[in-house]
């Protein structure tokens, strides 16, 4: 039998649970920051002086470009970022931090680091850097293969029919 002995042995479950926890503490700490953890990441990217078009930011954060528009609307309304037309491509806009945005980023970064230490508390100090390093490598993978993952056997076993219509069925 190859099934796991406990949920905890499940990498996916552990990942989701950890992210859930991270989301919670970052929401507490960044409650006043528009967009929460996501807003922070936008500020961090802009503060680094990256190329930072809206599209580039959206791809970096793994969200749709329309979502980035709303996110930046909130950050701009709060006075933390500016949208400046890119002189090299007048379709694009470069996202720049305001002074207030810089201060907010710096402060949020400090708070987040403290919260992260709480998150990482169950680990040995030496392990914490190891985890950061590993997640960093996983997140920045070059993904050279591009080989699409499929597992048709599983598909066939679990359910031959495509079960197209989902959810909301009446009963009783």
Within its chain, how far is the Cα of 114 from the centroid? 19
Q: Does 84 bind a second copy (CB under 8 A)?
A: no
Residue found by looking up tokens 């700490």 in the block: 29
Q: Does 170 bind a second copy (CB under 8 A)?
A: no
Residue 163's binding partner among DNA, a second copy, none (Cβ under 5 to 8 angstroms by kind) is a second copy
Site string (36-55) toward DNA, x via CB under 7 A: -----------------xxx
Q: Does 93 bind a second copy (CB under 8 A)?
A: no
Report the C-alpha gap between 170 and 102 in whole angstroms.
Answer: 53
Residue 64's binding partner among DNA, a second copy, none (Cβ under 5 to 8 angstroms by kind) is DNA
| Least distance CB 64 / a second copy (angstroms) | 13
Q: Which of residues 73-132 bind DNA (CB under 7 A)?
A: 73, 83, 89-93
Q: Does 167 bind DNA (CB under 7 A)?
A: yes
Q: Looking at beta carbons only, is 16 or 129 nearer to DNA?
A: 16
Residue from the set 45, 58, 72, 95 that interacts with a second copy by CB under 8 A: 45
């Amino acid at each position: 039998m190859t099934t796991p002995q406990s949920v905890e042995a499940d990498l996916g479950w552990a990942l989701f649970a950890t992210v859930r926890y991270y989301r919670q503490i970052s929401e507490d700490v960044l409650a006043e920051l528009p967009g929460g953890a996501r807003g922070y990441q936008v500020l961090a990217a802009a503060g680094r002086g990256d190329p930072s078009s809206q599209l580039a930011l959206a791809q970096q954060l793994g969200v749709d470009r329309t979502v980035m528009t709303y996110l930046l609307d909130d950050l701009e309304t709060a006075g933390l970022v500016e949208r400046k037309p890119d002189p090299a491509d007048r379709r694009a806009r470069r996202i720049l931090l305001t002074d207030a945005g810089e201060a907010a980023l710096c402060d949020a970064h400090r708070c987040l680091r403290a919260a992260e230490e709480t998150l990482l508390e169950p680990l040995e100090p030496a392990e914490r850097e190891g985890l950061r390093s590993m997640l960093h490598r996983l997140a920045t993978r070059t993904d050279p293969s591009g080989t699409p993952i499929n597992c048709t056997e599983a598909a066939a076993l679990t359910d031959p029919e495509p079960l197209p219509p989902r959810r909301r069925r009446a009963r009783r």
